[in-house]
Amino acid sequence: MQTEIAKKWKLSSSVNPMRDTLFAQMNREIRSLKDSIAKLTDTAQLVGMQEQLSQNEFALKLFNQNVNKLMNESFIDLNTNGQFKTNITGNESGKWELSSNKKSIYFHPENKTKSDTMYIKEFKAGTSLILAFDSATYLVFKPE
């Protein structure tokens, strides 16, 4: 499995309930501000609410840009010599290894004292690799 999993993988999708909750909350706040502005008659309050709406829309736009960048540019490169490179959480490199039961991958980034563990949710040689942070949050990769 070590040799089959050792290749460059491109992120194709991700499931992140915390990200989805934040996205929904940001959209609710924008809708609420728009509704409030539409009903507002006090011009002194109107300026403040319009500024808040503008800030929230900018934050949502930035959030979407970051998610799109993550989805379009992220990769993990697992080499057969045990080295890895990734840009998922910033540019990182170091060593990687499979757990003895082949259910986890340990990442030992350079310049970090702590290793990262990701669980192998699914692996189909040459087709897909799904790595999970926990039972609800995971990344789906396709070979590049």
Kindly state whether residues 52 and 78 are assigned to the same domain: no
Entry pTM: 0.84
For 55-89, b where at least 16 C-beta lie within 10 A, e where not — what string?
ebeeebeeeeeeeeebeeebebbbeeeeebebbbe
Q: Return the residue matching tokens 């990687």.
A: 96
Kindly state whether residues 60 and 107 are assigned to the same domain: no
Reported as a single tens digit per residue, the pLDDT across 130-142 is 999 999 999 999 9
Kindly state whether residues 81 and 134 are assigned to the same domain: yes
- Which of 71, 98, 115 is where one domain is finished? 71
CA distance 30 to 60: 9
CA distance 133 to 47: 43
Range of the domain at 50: 17-71
Kindly state whether residues 80 and 131 are assigned to the same domain: yes
Q: How far out from the chain centre does Cα 3 lie?
A: 26
Reported as a single tens digit per residue, the pLDDT across 91-123 is 999 999 999 999 999 999 998 888 999 999 999
Kindly state whether residues 138 and 78 are assigned to the same domain: yes
Do the Cβ atoms of 49 and 37 come closer than 8 Å?
yes
